[in-house]
Amino acid sequence: MRFKASVFGLAAVLLVAAPVALSQFRTEQLTEVGVTFIAILGLDVLVGHAGQISLGHGAFMAVGGYTTAILMADHGVRDLWTIPVAAAVAGAVGLVAGVTAVRLSGFSLALVTFGLAVAFPALVLRFDHFTGGAAGIELAGKPAQTGHGAGVVVLGRHLSNGDWGYGLTWTVAVACFLLVRWLLSSRFGRALRAVRDDERAAATSGISRAVAKVGALGVSAALAGTAGSLLAIDTAQVGPGTFSAELSLYLLAGAVVGFFCSVRGAIVGALLLQFLPDLARLLPHVGSREAGPATFVLGLAVVLVTLLLPPALRAGTAFARRAEARTE
C-alpha cells in the first residue's frame, strides 16, 4: 500500500512539474500523451476486462472531436462544456455499434468497429457542409474557446495556451483514471470479467452477456470521445488528418503494449505511441522520422508482448489469484 501511494505521489509530482521544467514543444507532446492515455483507458476496459476487440477507437475519438468542434464553431458552446457532450455522443455511437455485434459470439465487434474506422473518414468528406470536409474546422480564436487563443488566467496566474491545454487534459485524464478504476472494481467490472472468462457461468449467475458487452463498449467509446474532444480543444482544430483510419490500430497496439491492457499500463502505451518514432530513429539505417520503421517496431512489440508475456501478468489475473487465495 505504501509502495502504491508513493508511486502515485511521484506521478503527481512529475505531472505538475513537467510543464515548468520542459520546453513548450515537449509540453505539447505530453498533452498528446494525456489524450492517448484516456483513449487507451477506454480500450483497457473493453479488451482487458470485457475480452472484446475494438478496431474503431480512432473513429470514436473522431466522433468526440467533431462533436466538440461543431458545438463550438456553429453553436457557440464554451469548449469545456462540450467535453461531456462529446463523451455522451461517442458513447451512444459505441452502444449502437455494440448492439449490432453481440448476437454473434466471438469477434464480430472487431469487424463492425473496423468498418467504422474505415468508413468514418469518408463520411467526413461526404458531409462537408457539416464537418468542413478536407479543410476541417478551425477553432483558434473562436469566442467559444477558453481565453480566445490568447492564454488563460487560472487562480491569478497567466497560463499560455499550451500550459492550459496540458493542465486541462491531465486533469480530465486523472479523473478518467480514477473513474475507470472505481468502475472496474464495482459490480459492473466484476460482471465484465465474469463474461470474459466464461459466458455460460456468468449467465448462470444472472449476468446478462449483452448488457455487459454493450455496456463495456459504451463506456469505452465515451472515454475515446472524451479524448477526441480534448484533442480538438488542445490543437484548436479538427480535420480528416486529425483522426486517421490507422489511428484505431495504433491505439489498440498501445493498449496491448501497456502490460496487455491493464489500466496501470495505459501510461506505458501512451508514452510509447508518442515517443516510439524518436526511439525508432536510433535503429541502424533509419535516418529521419519515417513512419515505416516505427510502425513496424510497434507491431512487432504487440506480437512479442502477446506471445511472450507470462499469463501471470495478464490483466485480470491478479483478480483471479486473489479469488483463489480466498477459497483456499
Q: How far apart are CA 118 and CA 309, in angstroms?
A: 31
Q: Does 69 bind another protein (CB under 8 A)?
A: no
**For cell 477507437, what's the residue?**
57
Site for another protein in 182-241 (CB under 8 A): none
Q: How far apart are CA 189 and CA 252, in angstroms?
A: 20
Cell numbers representing residue 205 in the block: 449467475
In the complex, the smallest distance separating the C-beta of residue 293 from another protein, rounded to whole angstroms, is: 5
Q: Does 296 bind another protein (CB under 8 A)?
A: yes
Q: Can you say how many angstroms the Cα of residue 94 is from the centroid of all Cα atoms in its chain? A: 13
Q: Residue 5, class by beta-carbon neighbours within 10 Å (0-12 exposed, 13-18 middle, 19+ buried)?
A: exposed
- Which one, 12 or 291, has the nearer CB to another protein? 291
Kindly report the number of other CB atoms within 10 A of residue 262's CB atom: 20
Site string for another protein, 91-130 (x = CB under 8 A): ------x-xxx-xxxxxx-xxx-xxx-xx--xx-xx----
Q: Does 51 bind another protein (CB under 8 A)?
A: yes
Q: What is the DSSP string of 62-111?
A: HHHHHHHHHHHHHH---HHHHHHHHHHHHHHHHHHHHHHHTTS-SSHHHH
- Which one, 172 or 251, has the nearer CB to another protein? 251
In the complex, the smallest distance separating the C-beta of residue 206 from another protein, rounded to whole angstroms, is: 22
Q: Does 85 bind another protein (CB under 8 A)?
A: no
- Which one, 149 or 241, has the nearer CB to another protein? 241
In the complex, the smallest distance separating the C-beta of residue 241 from another protein, rounded to whole angstroms, is: 14
Question: In a 3-state reduction of DSSP, which class is residue 271?
Answer: helix
Q: How far apart are CA 105 and CA 107, in angstroms?
A: 7
Site residues for another protein per CB under 8 A: 47, 51, 53, 55, 97, 99-101, 103-108, 110-112, 114-116, 118-119, 122-123, 125-126, 245-246, 249-250, 252-253, 256, 290-303, 306-307, 311
